[in-house]
Amino acid sequence: MTAASSPSPPKDNGAPALDAARLAAANINPRTKLATDYLNHFNEAIMMLEMLPQMPDCIVDLLEWKPLSYTEHFAASNFKDRELAITAYEAADARARDQLDRLADSMNAILVATRDAILTPLSEPVANAVAAETVARLKPLVAEAGGIINGAGEEHMDAQADVDALMGG
């Protein structure tokens, strides 16, 4: 190959490269372009709720918890490759991103409602029951979000897109 016929290097627009090796090294799924680190936001709240019966003063940490979107989480995090995670998220399949965002919105709403309920004057047993119920509701949602991030159900999404295209919708 001559120099004249060699492909030109990709333009560097300042955005981090999204090659599979770099994504994998950053713990970002190369196929989905999503990172499980986002689930730490919810897992931390779940851990606080689980600790509440044994350590009632961890309520202070729970009250400081704030709902965050995927990009807000990474923008505020100490995640080494946070800019790459945000860039990859923006390049992720829109259907997967939408599914993850809907789950995150649900989990955020559940946690905000729980935090607000615990702020009201509840007896300790009632507060602990609210916390336990929230944990029971959140864990399957976190698992579902992890599945989306790790590419589970991609075949279903492709099949649904095929059906939608066939049906003209």
Which residue range forms the structural domain that includes residue 118? 32-166
Residue 45 counted as domain residue = yes
Q: In 18-123, which residue ranges form alpha helices assigned H by DSSP?
A: 20-25, 39-51, 59-64, 70-76, 82-91, 94-119
**Residue 157, pLDDT above cutoff 60:** no
Q: Over the stretch 99-135, which tens digit does the pLDDT of each residue have?
A: 999 999 999 999 999 999 988 888 889 989 999 999 9
Residue 2 counted as domain residue = no
Residue 66 counted as domain residue = yes
Q: In 120-153, which residue ranges form alpha helices assigned H by DSSP?
A: 124-149
Bridge partners of residue 28, in order along the sequence: 35
**Number of structural domains in the chain:** 1
Residue 87 counted as domain residue = yes
Residue 7 counted as domain residue = no
Q: Which of 15-19, 25-29, 70-74 has the lowest mean pLDDT?
A: 15-19
- As a whole number, the mean pLDDT across the chain is 85
Residue 128 counted as domain residue = yes
The reported pTM is: 0.79
- Of all residues in the chain, the percent with pLDDT exceeding 90 is 67
Residue 69 counted as domain residue = yes
Looking up tokens 């295209």 gives: 165
Q: Over the stretch 126-156, which tens digit does the pLDDT of each residue have?
A: 989 999 999 999 999 999 999 999 998 654 4
Q: What is the pLDDT of residue 120?
A: 85
Alpha-carbon torsion angle 24, 82, 158, 107, nearest 10: 120
Residue 125 counted as domain residue = yes
**Residue 26, pLDDT above cutoff 90:** yes
Q: How far apart are CA 62 and CA 132, in angstroms?
A: 14
